[in-house]
Amino acid sequence: MLQNDLLLRTLRGETTERTPVWMMRQAGRYLPEYMVLREKYGFFERCQTPELACEITLQPVDIVGVDAAILFSDILVVPQAMGLEVQLIESKGPFLPDPVKTAKDLTRVRVPDVHETLGYVMDAIKLIKQELNGRVPLIGFAGAPWTLLCYMVQGKGSKTFDEAKAFCYTQPELAHQLLQMITDTTIAYLKAQVKAGADTVQIFDSWGGLLSPHDFETFSLKYIRQIVAAVKEEVPTIIFAKGAWHSLDSMAATGAHGLGIDWCIKPEMARQFAGNNVTLQGNFDPAKLLSPIPVIQKEVKDMLRAFGPGRHIANLGHGILPNVPVDHARAFVDAVKEFRHA
Ligand code: 1CP
Cα 179–Cα 183–Cα 189 angle in degrees, nearest 5? 145
pTM for this one?
0.97
pLDDT reported for residue 90: 83
CB atoms within 10 A of CB 143: 23
Mean pLDDT of 136-145: 98
> pLDDT for 210-263, tens place per residue?
999 999 999 999 999 999 999 999 999 999 999 999 999 999 999 999 999 999
Q: Could you tell me the CATH number of the domain that includes residue 328? A: 3.20.20.210
DSSP 226: H
The 3-state DSSP class for residue 279 equals: strand
CA-based radius of gyration for the chain? 19
Q: How far apart are CA 124 and CA 120, in angstroms?
A: 6
Which pLDDT score is estimated for 86? 98
**237, 246 contact by CB (below 8 A):** no
Question: Among 21, 22, 25, 207, which is best to mutate for testing ligand 1, by the most ligand atoms less than 8 A from CB?
Answer: 25
Residue 206 lies in a domain: yes
Q: Best substitution site from 37, 56, 75, 321 to test ligand 1's pocket, by max atoms within 8 Å of Cβ?
A: 75
13-70 pLDDT, tens digit each:
999 999 999 999 999 999 999 999 999 999 999 999 999 999 999 999 999 999 999 9
Instruction: Give the nearest ligand 1 atom to 147 CA.
Output: 35
Active site residues: 25, 29, 38, 74, 151
Report which secondary-structure segment, H or E, holds 169: helix 162-170
Residue 59 lies in a domain: yes
Tell me, in angstroms, the distance from the centre of ligand 1 to residue 76's CA: 9
Q: Are 326 and 65 in contact (CB under 8 A)?
A: no
Give which of 13, 87, 22 is closest to 240, Cα–Cα: 22
Residue 120, in any domain of the structure: yes
User: Is 210 in a helix, a strand, or coil?
Assistant: helix
* Ligand 1 atom at shortest distance from the alpha carbon of 47: 13
Residue 230 CA to residue 208 CA, distance in Å, equals 20
Structure confidence at residue 87 as a pLDDT band (50, 70, 90): very high
What is the total count of domains within the chain? 1
Ligand 1 neighbourhood includes 216 CB (under 6 angstroms): no
Ligand 1 pocket, residue 126 CB under 6 Å: no
Q: Is residue 76 part of a domain?
A: yes
Strand order in the sheet with 279-284: 69-70, 138-143, 200-205, 237-241, 258-260, 279-284, 312-316
Whole-number Å distance, alpha carbon 139 to ligand 1 midpoint, is: 15
For residue 29, being part of any structural domain is answered with yes
**Inter-residue contact 20 to 10 (CB < 8 Å):** yes
* Domain presence at residue 1: no
Ligand 1 center–CA 93 separation, angstroms: 9
What is the pLDDT, as a whole number, of residue 167?
98
Looking at residue 9, its amino acid is R
What would the DSSP string read from start to end of 60-118? HHHHT--S-EE-S--TTHHHHHTT---EEETTTEEE-SS---SHHHHTT-----HHHHH
Q: Is residue 296 part of a domain?
A: yes
Closest ligand 1 atom to residue 26 Cα is: 21
CA distance 228 to 223: 9
Residue whose CA is closest, atom 18 of ligand 1?
Answer: 72
The H-or-E segment that residue 138 falls in is: strand 138-143
Report the distance separating Cα 122 and Cα 198, nearest Å: 9
> Closest Cα to residue 69, out of 19, 118, 125?
125
For residue 83, tell me if it sits in a domain.
Answer: yes
* Structural domain boundaries, residue 19: 6-338
